[in-house]
């Protein structure tokens, strides 16, 4: 039997990049999928393509009113909400801290941190009504160290780790598990298109060649882990963090000629 039969999954930022990969995979495994996102055209097209077990909702994760509409819409469409994936995220235009303006700082934290907080808060009553469920917050390997010129992004993603652990403690007795995934460098518009206000894309200056698994990650690399973490197979896992980065955090592998 598919792992997510009779379950409803809401994915934020579901209209592109990793989010779309997650939506497609949950749907293929039997879930009802709620595609939360800003791009109504792409969201509606994806929902149409997937059919009656898919529904698009306009969801700006920074807007409380957006959440207040999206969660009931999921319950109305499919009867319950069982899984929330806080996937929406934005990167800052690279800049040292001394040249990072307050507006950029606030904008990035608003989406990556406050958006995740608002999502957890909005989903809790629905997950309780469903008898329990699972939340996964998508952070980043940048939440495992420092990265020059990415202070707003790094700080927000670090904070998501603390939020995840706290939520896991608060919600465990309600049978709601909360975990974090830290993707490495994944081939999506996120690395192929410059951040708002930037001119270069991450892919312009990043090469995976020195690392243990010398390739860019694919969205499906993250999706497979996400499906495991949100499934009943992971019922004893909460407050945990999983890195999916092809060994990037290990540092560069020695070239063969050095052996
Ligand atoms: N691609 C990578 O290398 C990488 C690495 C580590 C972490 N991440 C994280 O993975 C997640 C998915 O990123 P991706 O690689 O698919 O990038 P992406 O840029 O393709 O997708 C991000 C999605 O978030 C949506 N979004 C942005 N602001 C939003 C808002 N206010 N409300 C709702 N949706 C909003 C965008 O519309 C987009 O669909 C993000 O949280 C990102 O920080 C990505």
Residues of the chain with pLDDT under 50: none
Model pTM?
0.98
Q: What spacing in Å lies between the alpha carbon of 87 and ligand 1's midpoint? A: 6
Distance of alpha carbon 114 from alpha carbon 60, whole angstroms: 11
Q: Say which residues have a Cβ less than 8 Å from residue 108's Cβ, sequence separation at least 6.
A: 90, 91, 92, 152, 153, 156
Q: Is the CB of 94 under 6 A from ligand 1?
A: no
pLDDT digits (tens, 9 = 90+) for 10-29: 999 999 999 999 999 999 99
- Evaluate the CA torsion angle 111, 117, 123, 127 in order and state its sign: positive
Query: Domains of the chain (ranges plus CATH)?
Result: 8-184+219-241 (3.40.50.720)
Predicted pLDDT at 259: 67
Nearest CA to ligand 1 atom 24: 88
Are the CB atoms for 163 and 117 separated by under 8 Å? Answer: yes
Q: Is the CB of 152 under 6 A from ligand 1?
A: no
pLDDT digits (tens, 9 = 90+) for 208-218: 999 999 999 99
Q: What spacing in Å lies between the alpha carbon of 79 and ligand 1's midpoint? A: 28
Q: How far is residue 26 from each of residues 9, 117, 184, measured CA to CA in Å?
A: 7, 23, 21
């Amino acid at each position: 039997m598919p792992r997510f039969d009779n379950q409803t999954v809401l994915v934020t930022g579901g209209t592109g990049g990793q989010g779309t990969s997650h939506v497609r995979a949950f749907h293929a495994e039997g879930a009802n999928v709620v595609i939360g996102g800003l791009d109504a055209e792409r969201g509606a097209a994806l929902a149409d393509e997937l059919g009656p077990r898919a529904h698009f909702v306009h969801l700006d994760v920074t807007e409380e009113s957006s959440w207040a509409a999206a969660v009931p819409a999921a319950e109305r469409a499919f009867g319950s909400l069982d899984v929330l994936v806080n996937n929406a995220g934005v990167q800052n235009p690279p800049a040292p801290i001394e040249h990072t303006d307050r507006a950029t700082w606030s904008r990035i934290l608003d989406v990556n941190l406050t958006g995740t907080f608002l999502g957890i808060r909005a989903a809790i009553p629905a997950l309780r009504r469903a008898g329990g469920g699972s939340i996964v917050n998508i952070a980043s390997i940048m939440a495992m160290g420092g990265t020059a010129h990415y202070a707003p992004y790094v700080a927000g993603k670090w904070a998501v780790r603390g939020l995840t652990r706290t939520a896991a403690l608060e919600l465990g007795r309600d049978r709601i598990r909360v975990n974090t995934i830290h993707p490495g460098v994944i081939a999506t518009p996120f690395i192929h298109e410059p951040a708002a206000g930037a001119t270069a894309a991450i892919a312009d200056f990043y090469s995976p060649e020195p690392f243990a698994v010398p390739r860019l990650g694919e969205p499906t690399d993250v999706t497979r882990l996400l499906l495991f973490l949100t499934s009943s197979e992971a019922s004893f896992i909460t407050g945990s963090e999983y890195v999916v980065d092809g060994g990037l955090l290990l540092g560069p592998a020695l070239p063969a000629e050095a052996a």
